[in-house]
A and B are shown apart, each in its own frame.
Chain A
Amino acid sequence: MFGPTLINHKNERIQKRVQFLFGVMLFFLIVPVVLIVGTLLVKGSGIISWSFLFHDPTNGMTEGGIFPALFGTIWLVTVSLLASVPLGVAAAIYLSEYAPDNLLTRLIQLATINLAGVPSIVHALFGVGAFVVFFRFGTSILAASLTLAIMTLPVVIVSSWESLQSVPRSFREACWNMGATRWQTIWHVVLPNAFTGILTGVILQVSRAAGETAPIMFTGAAMFLPFLPSSVFDQTMALALHLFVVTTQVPNVPESLPYGVALVLVGIVLLMNSVAIWIRMRLRRKKKW
C-alpha cells in the first residue's frame, strides 16, 4: 500500500542526480581556494619571518623584507576608511531614515548599487583626474586613499543601508509615538542596533581596499621607495602593487619572495574577513527581538 510507484522512483532518481550535480559544483568552487591557499603556504611560508615583515627590501627588491609595502597598505586603508566610513554611513542614514520613498530615492539606491560594480580601473582613472590633477594632491597617499574610498563607498552605503533597514520598523514607531525626533530615534535606537552590521560591511571593504592594485598604481603607490612616507602627501609602497612588481617587473627574484608577499596579503584579507564573520556570529547570538 505504501510501496513506491514508478513515479516515486523517477522523482527520487531526479532528486539524487540534482543533489550530486550541485555537490560537484561546490567541489569545483572549493578546489581553487584550497589550491591557492595551499600553494601560498607551501611556497611562501618559508620566507615569512620577523625580518621579512619588518625590514626594507634590499638588492633591487630581490632580497630583504616588505615593511614599506606593509606599512603603506595600512596607511592607505586607514586614510581611505577615514573618508569612506563617515561619508558612507551618513549617506546610508539619510537614504534609510530621512529620504522619502519616491522615485528619486529609488534611483539613487539603484545608482549606488550599480556603482559598486564599476571596474576598479575606472575608479583609478577617476582618481587621477579628480584627486591627482584637479585637486592637485599629486600622486600621494591622499589621492590613492581617496580613490580607494570612492571605490569602496558604494558598498559601504549599501551594506550600511541594509543594516539600518533590518532594524524593525516597530522600534521606530515606538520612538516617534513618544515624541522622539528622527535624530533621537536614529541615535538611541536605530544606530546601536545596526552598528555591528555596519561594522561588518566596513571590515569587508577594508580587505577589498587592501587587495586592490589598479586604483592606487596611478594615484599614489610607488614601485620602490627608499623611505617611509611621512605625511599623506608622500607616495608610498603598497603590498598589492609590490606583489605585481616583484612578480613581473624585477629580474632574478627568488621564487619564494612573491609567494611570501602574496601570503601576507591573503593573510591580511582572511584575517579581516574572519573578524567580520566573528562579529556577525556574535551579533546573531546577541540579537533577540
Chain B
Amino acid sequence: MMPRFQRVVSADSSAELAIQTRDLNLWYGTFQALFDVNLKIRQGIITSLIGPSGCGKSTLLRSVDRINERLGSVRIKGTIELFRQDIHAPTVSLAQLRKQVGMVFQRPNPLPISIRENVLFGYRIHHEKGGRIARSEADGIVEEALRQVLLWDQVKDRLDHKATVGLSLEEMQKLCIARLLPVKPLILLMDEPCSALDPRGTAAVEELIWELRGRYSILIVTHNMAQARRASDECIFMLMGRVVEHAPTDQLFVVPAHRETADYIEGRYG
C-alpha cells in the first residue's frame, strides 16, 4: 500500500532534535517499564510509536511532559531533553513544560464549558492578567485555532454551546487539539488519538495531523499499523520496554532491520 501523504525526507541528519532521550529507564514501583531508551526525534516531523500493548510506548509518551509523575511511585534514570534542555533539571517549571508540550488523549476530553472557552482555556491559565483578555483578541485566537484544526466552519455558529454536548467524537478530538495551539506549543504528543473514532473520523483527524506537520513536532502512539504507515515520517517500534527499531517509516515497513519488527508489522503478534 502506498503512503497517502507526500513525505519530504530530509537528508540532513543534523536537523534540530525535538526530543532526545539518553539511557532512559523508568520504573512503576518495582516494575520496570522502560529499558535504556535512546532516541533522537527530529523537529517538525511526525514520528509514530508502534508496538504491542504494554510495550511502554504510552509510558514513553507520558514521560515527555512528565505527566507520569502524577501517578506517584514513578522512578526515572537517564535523561530526556527537549530542544537540548533537560526536562528534569531543577529549574524546569512543570507548567511551562506542559505549555510547550501538548497532549491529546485516546478519548476526546473537551472540558464541560463552551467550545470557545475550551479553546481559550490554556491561553487563559498561562495569561499574566489571569486570563482577562479583550473580546477581539479572544475572538482572533479562537478563530485561528479552530481554523488550524479544520473545525471553524462546522462550529463557528455555536461557539457558545457546551463542548461536551452536540459535537461528534471527531469534532471533539479536533477541539482537543485546537485548545493546545493558542499557547504555541513546540511538541504535540498524541496517545492513540483516533482509536475512539470511526473510519471517517480517523481519516479526518489524520488529515489534520498531517496538516499540522512542520509547525509542530508530533509524536503519536498508535495501534493502527496502516495509520503509522500512512501518516508518519519516522516510526519507532518498541517491544517490552525497549526500542527495537527507529527508522524512516517507508524503510521500517518495507525493509525492517529486525526480525521482531517484521513479525509485528506482519501481524504475527500484537
Contact = CB atoms under 8 A, between A and B. Distances in A.
Interface of A: 100-101, 168, 170-171, 173-181, 184, 188-189, 193, 287-289
B112 A193 contact: yes
A193 B111 CA distance: 10
Given A188-B125, A288-B164, A178 B99 contact: yes
Contact of A184 (B105, B107, B109, B125): B125
A176 B109 contact: no
Contact of A179 (B111, B125, B165): B125
A173 B109 contact: yes
B174 interface: no
B99 A170 contact: no
Contact of B125 (A100, A178, A193): A178
A170 B105 contact: yes
A31 B206 CA distance: 63
Interface residues of B, number: 30
A179 B112 contact: no
19 contacts: A100-B72, A168-B109, A170-B105, A170-B109, A171-B109, A173-B105, A173-B109, A176-B98, A177-B98, A177-B103, A178-B125, A178-B179, A179-B95, A179-B122, A179-B125, A179-B126, A189-B111, A288-B164, A289-B164
A178 B94 CA distance: 10
Contacts of A189: 111-113
B125 A180 contact: yes
A181 B95 contact: yes
B168 to A, nearest CB: 15
A176 B122 contact: no
B241 interface: no
| Residue of A168, A171, A179, A288 most packed against chain B (CB within 10 A) | A179
A96 to B, nearest CB: 14
B15 interface: no
B125 A170 contact: no
Contact of A174 (B72, B95, B97, B176): B176
Nearest to B131: A188
B183 interface: yes
Contacts of B179: 178
Contacts of A179: 94-99, 122, 125-126, 183
B132 interface: no
Nearest to A169: B109
Nearest to B179: A178
Contacts of A184: 125
